[in-house]
Chains A and B, each alone.
Chain A
Amino acid sequence: MNTRIIYALALTLTSCWAHAVEGDPQPSVMWEYFHQRLLDNADFVFDEAVKVSVPPFAEDARQVPIEVDARALPGKVERVMIWAELNPIPQVLTLYPSAELEKFLAVRIRVEQATPIRAALLMDDGIWHVGSARVEAAGGGCSAPSVVRAQEGWEDHLGEIFGARFKAGDNSRLRLSVSHPMDNGLVDSIPEFYVNQAELRDRSGAVLARIDLFSAVSENPTLTLGIKGHPETQLWLRDNNGNEFTADIP
């Protein structure tokens, strides 16, 4: 609770003094901070070819869908970072894709208040290409009690993975959801307990994508990935308590 108040205070003070950078489609006083902290002050460009979609408002601040579509962006992606700028836990995920992945992904996150959402793609030219969107929210998504934990016997379902592969022309959409409370440490003194690593592998075990996840991701994380062709794949997950979960995606 205290950390949240301090955080809010810091945010208010920063917004009095700091200022947004020019050319930012979602002007935010926090951009410079994240540019330094997450992108290591590296070269970047706000790029319309990185389309970030969110609903205009969060009907459920605990489950806000984010879609990143950069299929119009040429070149090879080295890394993708997504964050919610004004969240107490800003980072959503970092994706290290292989060439087998399409430049498309979707995930659901918690937001605590109205915030810019950023997706930054580090391309093989060494430049971060940044897409932005803004979601309005009445707030409370990060500090709301868990829906999963309110269900009797939720532990028995921990790590159950549901999903399917859908054909999208020459490519596929993988849609995956895992039963997990994704505790972020901000609610009812429940310590952090969340899935923090994922790998998508082909049938031989070769890694097609590695993902670091953060607890801004909603409980029962839902992930959509675009993949080339129509391959069978495997999903491997691990949470910060060391539980591992795997699934075959036919």
Chain B
Amino acid sequence: MRCLLIFLCSSILSFSAWADYQLTPKKIAENTWLLEGSTENFNFENGGNIVNAAFIVTDTGVVVIDTGPSLAYGKALRAAIATVTDKPVIQVLLTHHHPDHVLGNQAFADVPIAALAGSKQLLQEQGNHMAENMYRVVGDWMRGTEVLLPSQLVEAGVLTIGGHPLQLLSLTGHTGADLVILDQRTGVLFAGDLVFYQRALATPNTPGLAAWLADIDTLEKLPWTLIVPGHGPLASDAQPFVQMRDYLTWLDSALREAAQTGMDMNQVLRLPIPERFAQVSLTRYELIRTVSHLYPLYEKQQWQRLDQD
């Protein structure tokens, strides 16, 4: 009985801790605004605001890039947009299907929400499970949040909205379906989660680190002036690419060498992380996750078929 009471009490406590995302748009280029999340992990304090969302105030209306981790975030984002422009939101673009980027969709249900076909499919397959997970890790911030699938599909090409030619790229490194947006008018590159900066990259859906590295090369060659990473601070130099390439290369070779020497998973997730990544947050946490996602593939490369067939 006492257990039950304690359980009830703690549930009530956690559900009463309601707070505000306090989103403040920061102008980063002509007509272009950023809402920068923290580089922490999801928790009850940040409500999942660990992600960068952005919007472009075009001549004909506002284009929103990613809707954040919850319905409450989506609403707060919409309110924040209204503080800088009277123009209506006319288009949402989703960079990929991960929950911190798309669970604010409900707040934009009256607007076309576009994504790559692959992202829509992944969200359909994994959305509910990911949303449940978010309820578990950030709690009441998620109240009322449900998966809302994109209402529109986009492909690679140029989409011009209100005087902003948006170059859309369809890449794969982070989830298998990653939309990157380069605003050819301002040079702002919305890289989505293909670029994590000062925050360790997450690998749950990556087709492999080699594909991701190839995408980094593709992005760096674009005529960008400003990089908006999916997570981490804005940059006007190539440092995010340098860091991503360095980190991906280290991760790939660390996993390969571990498999070549016959390490089991626990040894791998204890491996030392090079000192040069000390300023990158959550490296150990993400390494533990990456070992679970990717190490079996590296193991297989070192193993032979042994049964007598």
Contact = CB atoms under 8 A, between A and B. Distances in A.
Contacts of A138: 133, 136
A106 B305 contact: no
A246 B306 CA distance: 8
A164 B302 contact: yes
B20 interface: no
A173 B291 CA distance: 19
Given A161-B307, A162-B306, A175-B299, A59 B265 contact: no
Interface in A1-19: 12, 15-16
A162 B300 contact: yes
Interface residues of A, number: 39
Contacts of B299: 175, 177, 222
Contacts of B289: 59
A220 to B, nearest CB: 9
Contacts of B266: 53-55, 65-67, 106
Contact of B264 (A57, A60, A224): A224
Contacts of A78: none
Contacts of A246: 307-308
Contact of A15 (B3, B261, B288, B302): B3
A198 to B, nearest CB: 13
A106 B262 contact: no
Q: How would you classify the secondary structure of chain B's contact residues: helix, strand, loop or mixed?
A: helix
A66 B303 CA distance: 20
Contact of A162 (B133, B136, B288, B303): B303
A164 B262 contact: yes
B264 A106 contact: yes
A108 interface: yes
Contacts of B293: 59-60
Nearest to A54: B266
B200 to A, nearest CB: 14
B185 interface: no
Given A57-B288, A59-B288, A138-B136, A175 B306 contact: no
Contacts of B261: 166, 168
A222 B3 CA distance: 38
Given A55-B266, A67-B264, A67-B267, A163 B303 contact: yes
A207 interface: no
A108 B266 CA distance: 10
B2 A16 contact: yes
Interface in A133-186: 138, 159-168, 173, 175-177
Q: How would you classify the secondary structure of chain A's contact residues: helix, strand, loop or mixed?
A: strand
Contacts of A159: 307
A80 interface: no
A106 B288 contact: no
Interface string B282-309: 0000001101110010011011111111
A245 B267 contact: no
Nearest to B6: A16
A175 B269 contact: no
Contacts of B309: 160
B304 A162 contact: yes
Contacts of A224: 262, 264
Nearest to A51: B266
A212 B226 CA distance: 59
Contacts of B264: 65, 67, 106, 175, 224
B296 to A, nearest CB: 8
Contacts of B303: 162-164, 175, 177
A115 interface: no
Interface string A40-71: 00000000000001111101100101110000
A60 B265 CA distance: 13
Nearest to A248: B306
Contacts of A60: 292-293
A249 B288 contact: no
3 tightest CB-CB pairs across the interface, nearest first? A166-B262, A65-B265, A59-B292
Given A16-B3, A173-B262, 13 more contacts: A53-B270, A55-B265, A55-B266, A60-B293, A65-B266, A106-B265, A162-B303, A164-B304, A165-B262, A175-B264, A176-B306, A245-B307, A247-B306
18 contacts: A15-B3, A16-B1, A59-B288, A60-B292, A65-B265, A65-B266, A108-B265, A138-B133, A159-B307, A164-B262, A164-B302, A165-B262, A166-B262, A167-B262, A168-B261, A173-B262, A176-B306, A248-B306
Interface of B: 1-3, 133, 136, 261-262, 264-267, 269-270, 288-289, 291-293, 296, 299-300, 302-309
Interface of A: 12, 15-16, 53-57, 59-60, 63, 65-67, 106, 108, 138, 159-168, 173, 175-177, 222, 224, 235, 245-249
